């Protein structure tokens, strides 16, 4: 793997509650410098990021980090993000509904955001399922539900749970997706803080990496990759 290939898999992330305009400017400038795929921010920072660099891809989190009981709140997040130019949405799925086996509700929740996104063009939707709370069979089912809802990616974590991305979970996802021809991709996120760990996630089957330690990863990649 080349350094530029790894960089193009990274969503450079700052979804901290206290992030300032200066923090978002720094994020965007770093993304441009290192050639990251996108920046990932809260909906309220999409306009700021777009004003800083109109050519930069912007992913916005929706229902973050713990999901909303009222689906309309997620739709408000999505509406704000799309209005100001987000090209990707990373939505938190309805874990409570999943745990109660309300699978139709889970899929419809995803479908609502996907429909909003697609009206604005080729906007990718990623669904965060928080794999640390799921069993192996849960993860397989999650892949089917995310694909059934029309999303483009299944994403491991918010980074706010007790654990983040795990290579074994990504391998389960990858196998389930390929075995069932689900046609979705995998984004690994949550506590990915080294080049070694990022590469481990890619080797396990992830095609996108979400992290806030992206610059550190690139500095390490200079010594590991060519």
Q: Which residues contact 209 (CB under 8 A, 6 or more apart)?
A: 6, 9, 10, 11, 187, 188, 189, 192, 198, 201, 202
Which two structure tokens, joined as six digits, stand for 100? Answer: 């109660």
Query: Do you find a cis peptide bond into 65, omega within 30 degrees of 0?
Result: yes
Which residues form the catalytic set? 90, 155, 185
222's CB contacts (< 8 A; 6+ apart) are 3
For residues 139 and 172, is the Cβ–Cβ distance under 8 A? Answer: yes
State the residue for tokens 């390929």: 178
Helices 103-118 and 71-83, axial angle in degrees (round to 10): 20
Rounded Cα gap, residues 82 and 76, in angstroms: 10
């Amino acid at each position: 793997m080349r350094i530029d290939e790894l960089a193009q898999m990274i969503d450079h992330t700052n979804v901290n509650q206290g992030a300032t305009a200066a923090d978002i400017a720094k994020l965007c400038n770093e993304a441009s410098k290192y050639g990251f795929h996108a920046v990932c921010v809260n909906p309220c920072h999409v306009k700021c990021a777009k004003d800083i660099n109109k050519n930069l891809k912007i992913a916005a989190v929706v229902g973050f980090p713990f999901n909303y009981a009222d689906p309309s709140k997620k739709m408000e997040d999505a509406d704000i993000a799309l209005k100001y130019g987000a090209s990707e949405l990373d939505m938190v799925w309805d874990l409570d509904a999943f745990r109660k086996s309300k699978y139709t509700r889970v899929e419809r929740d995803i479908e609502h955001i996907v429909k909003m996104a697609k009206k604005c063009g080729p906007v990718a939707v990623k669904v965060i399922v928080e794999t640390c709370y799921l069993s192996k069979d849960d993860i397989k089912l999650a892949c089917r539900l995310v694909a059934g809802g029309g999303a483009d990616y299944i994403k491991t974590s918010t980074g706010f749970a007790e654990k983040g991305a795990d290579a074994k979970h990504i391998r389960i996802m990858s196998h389930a997706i390929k075995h069932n021809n689900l046609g979705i991709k995998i984004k690994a996120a949550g506590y990915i803080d080294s080049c070694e760990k990022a590469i481990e996630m890619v080797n396990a089957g992830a095609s996108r990496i979400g992290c806030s330690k992206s610059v550190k990863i690139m500095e390490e990649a200079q010594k590991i990759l060519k």
